[in-house]
Structure 1
Amino acid sequence: MAENDGDGWDAVLEEDEDSGAVARAVSRQIKLWREAAGLKQAELGSALGYGVDMISAVERGKRFPRPEFLAGADELLDAGGKLSAMKKDIAEARYPKKVRDLAKLEDKAVERGAYGDHNIDGLLQTEEYARALFAMRRPAIGEDEIERHVAARMARQEILHRKPPPSLTFVQEEVTLRRPIGGKMVLRRQLEHLLEVGRLRHVTLQVMPTECEEHAGMAGELRVLKFKGGKALGTTDGQLTARLISGPEEVQILELRYGMIRSQALTPRESLAFIEKVLGET
């Protein structure tokens, strides 16, 4: 088996205490099972197709092992399923805390509405579009961190296929359909994906045209989440922070604004036609 490089491994953010605790617990188990089998790090790495530096990083809790690594190590070290059983813990902990928290809220929501003013909403992004977005971050982040964020974003999109499906509404600013993030071909595939998702029965996609004079969303992007029993929450994103809004009066303001934004945007039918037009021009 050829030796793997750094791609496919997820760096552990030291400031994320929850992720760090999971990484340390898993790393100790891997090291104990390796030592019990009488193998050195280099021998385990050679058998699994990884370098000794990568095995060392995993055992020090500096890297999250991929599911295939856990499965291979479990079989090789005769762990009886104990290492493979950690896949779920790793899957939850390997993503940034902000993303994990948002994903938990979205997973419980029966309705989710979002207005996006500078890029396509995360639940609607293609993998290559998301990767291009993270790659242009400044200060620049490493390849491992880019892949970590992309994987987290793609995992959140499971909400699109949840049963029973939640009601999902999106309003996208026209400029987000035209800015060629990642290049024209990436944008074309992104627009095609929008058309596909926009035709799902539980998804409503609308476009806010630039020429619209009345606009209730000038304060920036927002999300509104509603849950069983009538409880609602909102979120807003800034340059470096994301804010969860739970106060009833503030949530009510966001709901009012989002409702007005939807009323000012193109209808769902007009919006799909508009996206098709932009696709034809791209």
Structure 2
Amino acid sequence: MSSKSEGSASMRMFGAVARGLRENAGVTTDALAEHVGYSKSLLIKVERGERMPPPMFVEKATELYDCGELLARAAAHLERRSDFPEWFEPYADLERTAISLYTYSTLVFHGLLQTEGYAQAVLGARCPLLEADEVERRVEARLARRALFSRTPAPQLAFVIEESVLRRPIGGVEVLRMQLRRTLDIAEMRGATVQILPTSFETHAGYDGPMTLIENPRREQYAYLEAQEHSFLVDDRDEVSELHQRYAMIRSQALSVRESAKVIEQIAGEL
């Protein structure tokens, strides 16, 4: 039986090419990690053929190595495989091509917003515990979803977050501080909004819990609900319409984008 960390033959081939090009260019793994924006440990595993290359890796590494189309041609032969839990796959497929995505988060930051450290802390706290290798695999898959932010054409994104999420130090103070800064960076992106729902508000429309509303290129609308590793992808028009109404009310009750940014900055400054 194969180990979970063992990659496919195409992954090992790609890794060997990637390492050869890096060494030929005289680039260290530390320099590569800084340039592409991913951890050194992840990039080493890509070169070993144990992990798929993360989003934008080929483009940024090609830029650093000045190797023309060599890395892209090697990547074209990769046999893609999913590192998501089976119950999450239907939603993940929708998210990849979404033209609009609206989320309401009540316990943790939405997966699209999470930094590597925050995602590791969230997945590492799961009960029953996941094997360390499985945590790493899921973290990498979660980070790969961030390709949505750099996609063309850009989707319309909205994130409403309960203030309590901003204050829970998941992973420790430094991890939370970086997570808050990451959230501020997303809030400044074109086509993305971040709003905070203050804990001090006596009432609001979000008591039924978190949700994600998503629209695909065919203008079909869905709602995604998740609880205790069970997911529900809702496509009934009446149900989706009701959730859109609820979400619209939640957004109207949350702080404005500018006020929300001030709250995030304030909390980050207090850490």
TM-score interval, normalised by the smaller of the two chains: 0.7 to 0.9
Paired residue for 1:169, among 158, 165, 170? 158
TM-score scaled to structure 1, two decimals?
A: 0.70
Shift in alpha-carbon separation, 1:155–1:87, aligned structure 2, 3 A: farther
How far off its partner does 1:93 sit? 2.5
How far off its partner does 1:67 sit? 4.4
- What residue number does 1:248 align with? 237
Paired residue for 2:47, among 44, 59, 68? 68
Structure 1 gaps, min length 5: 1-8, 13-22, 34-65, 72-80
How far off its partner does 1:214 sit? 2.8
Aligned-partner Cα distance in 2 for 1:194–1:271: 11
Shift in alpha-carbon separation, 1:96–1:86, aligned structure 2, 3 A: farther
- What residue number does 1:231 align with? 220
1:143 aligns with 2:132: yes
2:79 maps to a residue whose letter is D
Shift in alpha-carbon separation, 1:280–1:225, aligned structure 2, 3 A: same
- What residue number does 2:32 align with? none
- What residue number does 1:88 align with? 78
Post-superposition Cα deviations, 1:40-95, rounded to whole Å, max 9, x if no partner, equal: xxxxxxxxxxxxxxxxxxxxxxxxxx643449xxxxxxxxx9xx6686324x3333
Paired residue for 1:263, among 252, 255, 270? 252
Q: Secondary structure at the match of 2:78?
A: helix
Post-superposition Cα deviations, 1:236-265, rounded to whole Å, max 9, x if no partner, equal: 011130111011111111111111110000
Instruction: Provide the identity percentage.
Output: 37
Structure 2 gaps, min length 5: 14-44, 51-70
- What residue number does 1:108 align with? 97
User: What is the alpha-carbon root mean square deviation over aligned residues?
Assistant: 2.8
Post-superposition Cα deviations, 1:131-184, rounded to whole Å, max 9, x if no partner, equal: 001111111111001001101100111101111110000000000000000011
Q: Is the 8 A contact 1:112 1:225 kept in 2?
A: yes
Post-superposition Cα deviations, 1:185-229, rounded to whole Å, max 9, x if no partner, equal: 111111111111111111100000011123111011000001234
Aligned-partner Cα distance in 2 for 1:139–1:158: 30
- What residue number does 1:192 align with? 181
Q: Secondary structure at the match of 1:93?
A: coil
Aligned-partner Cα distance in 2 for 1:218–1:141: 30
Q: Secondary structure at the match of 1:219?
A: coil
1:131 maps to a residue whose letter is Q
Aligned length: 218
Q: Secondary structure at the match of 2:152?
A: coil
How far off its partner does 1:231 sit? 1.4
Post-superposition Cα deviations, 1:78-125, rounded to whole Å, max 9, x if no partner, equal: xxx9xx6686324x3333334443222012211000000000111001
